[in-house]
């Protein structure tokens, strides 16, 4: 059972990074930003080219090259996130929420289609220049890259939390999330705050895409669709708009899926996971962790 629990935690890390992105954007402007799912895919495809490039610059330092690739891909997808805000949110920021939702879906489809046309419709094999040996620990088997995915997910969550909690910009995000008018009175530049949050969400999605595609060795232009839906589900499960809610939702969903696959025929996994989601929402419509102004982004 410990192996299943840890499997769920590793998968949950990827859900968490996407859930965080959904949650902070929603917390700020009440938009479910599906466009970030395409940045998950974009991150994976950027790494296809950048990881070997950095590895050729840093021979014998595979982990350094890989870490550099993760960071640069995150930065690039963060920048694309800002561009998404500039072109798909800013011009229609006063339109009904449904228009913004459709706009974010359009970006998702556009970027996926571009990847399909420009790169390939075929799944791409991802090679990582690290010794991805399998370790036996705690009664299970784990590859080095699975451990990296878990560490990366947890580290980014803590970084984000501390950024929102303790920095001046984080306070601006919280103030805007709490009440836009009051934030403006307090001198917060709401527009630039929103652009930065789109950037952070894009970076989180991109890093998640790189970690997942590198860990499992394959990237495809549709790779974000199912995991994106699960990231969104995790955000709702934990409590949309809450950083810790996204963390709890992501890991809970990962563990539920893993455990139910082990205990029941795997065809029941989705029934169990989404059945629990419906139950949670029936009794706690705001998710497992209620949104509080203190941690809302």
Partner 1 sequence: MKNTKDRRAFALSLGALLAVLLAGIGLAGCSSGSGNDFVLGIGLPLTGSNASYGVASMDSDQLAVDYLNAHGGILGHPVKIVKWDTKADPATGVAGAQSFVSQHVNAVVGFFNSDVTVPAIRILEQANVPLFGDNPSTPQLASLHLTNFVRVTGDDALEGVIQAQFAIQKLKVKSVVAIDDQEAFGEAFAQAFVDEFKKDGGTVLDHEGVDPTANDYSAILSKIASLKPDLFEFSGFYQPAGLLVKQARQMGIKSIFITDSAVYGDKYLGIAGPAGVGTYLTNVPLSQESDTPLSKYLTDNLQSKYGIKADGIDANTFDAVIAVSYAAQLANSIAPADLIKVMHDVKFQGATGDVSFLADGDRAQVDYTVVEVMPDNSYKTLEEFKEIL
The binding site for partner 1 (CB under 8 A) comprises 3-4, 7-8, 10-11, 116, 121-123, 125, 134, 136, 140-141, 143, 212-213, 215-218, 220, 222-223, 225-227, 257-259, 261-262, 265-267, 269
Closest separation in Å from C-beta 229 to partner 1: 11
Closest separation in Å from C-beta 272 to partner 1: 12
CB atoms within 10 A of CB 83: 15
Q: Which of 3, 1, 18, 2 is nearest to 251 (CA)?
A: 18
Closest separation in Å from C-beta 199 to partner 1: 26
DSSP designation for 268: G
Residue with smaller CB distance to partner 1, 79 or 272: 272
DSSP designation for 149: H
Residue with smaller CB distance to partner 1, 149 or 197: 149
Tell me the sheet residues that pair with 141: 136
CA distance 283 to 287: 9
Closest separation in Å from C-beta 241 to partner 1: 27
Residue with smaller CB distance to partner 1, 121 or 285: 121
Residue with smaller CB distance to partner 1, 198 or 251: 251
Closest separation in Å from C-beta 184 to partner 1: 31
217, 127 Cβ separation under 8 angstroms: yes
76, 68 Cβ separation under 8 angstroms: no
CA distance 13 to 6: 11
Residue with smaller CB distance to partner 1, 25 or 273: 273
């Amino acid at each position: 059972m410990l192996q299943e629990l840890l499997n769920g935690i590793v998968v949950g890390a990827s859900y968490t990074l996407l859930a965080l992105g959904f949650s902070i954007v929603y917390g700020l402007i009440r938009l479910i930003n599906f466009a970030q799912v395409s940045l998950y895919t974009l991150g994976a495809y950027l790494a296809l080219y950048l990881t070997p490039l950095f590895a050729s610059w840093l021979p014998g330092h595979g982990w350094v090259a890989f870490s550099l690739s993760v960071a640069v891909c995150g930065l690039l997808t963060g920048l694309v996130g800002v561009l998404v805000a500039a072109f798909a949110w800013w011009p229609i920021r006063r339109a009904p929420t449904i228009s913004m939702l459709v706009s974010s879906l359009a970006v998702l489809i556009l970027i996926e289609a571009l990847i399909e046309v420009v790169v390939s419709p075929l799944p791409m094999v991802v090679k990582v220049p690290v010794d991805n040996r399998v370790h036996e620990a705690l009664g299970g088997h784990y590859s080095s890259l699975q451990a990296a995915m878990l560490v990366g997910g947890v580290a980014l969550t803590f970084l984000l939390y501390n950024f929102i909690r303790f920095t001046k910009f984080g306070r601006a995000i919280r103030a805007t999330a709490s009440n836009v008018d009051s934030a403006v009175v307090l001198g917060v530049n709401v527009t630039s705050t929103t652009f930065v949050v789109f950037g952070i969400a894009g970076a989180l999605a991109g890093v998640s895409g790189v970690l997942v595609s590198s860990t499992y060795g394959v990237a495809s232009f549709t790779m974000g669709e199912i995991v994106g839906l699960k990231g969104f589900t995790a955000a709702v499960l934990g409590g949309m708009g809450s950083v810790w809610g996204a963390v709890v939702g992501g890991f809970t969903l990962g563990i539920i899926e893993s455990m139910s696959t082990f205990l029941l025929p795997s065809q029941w996994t989705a029934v169990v996971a989404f059945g629990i989601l419906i139950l949670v929402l029936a009794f706690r419509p705001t998710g497992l962790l209620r949104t509080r102004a203190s941690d809302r982004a």
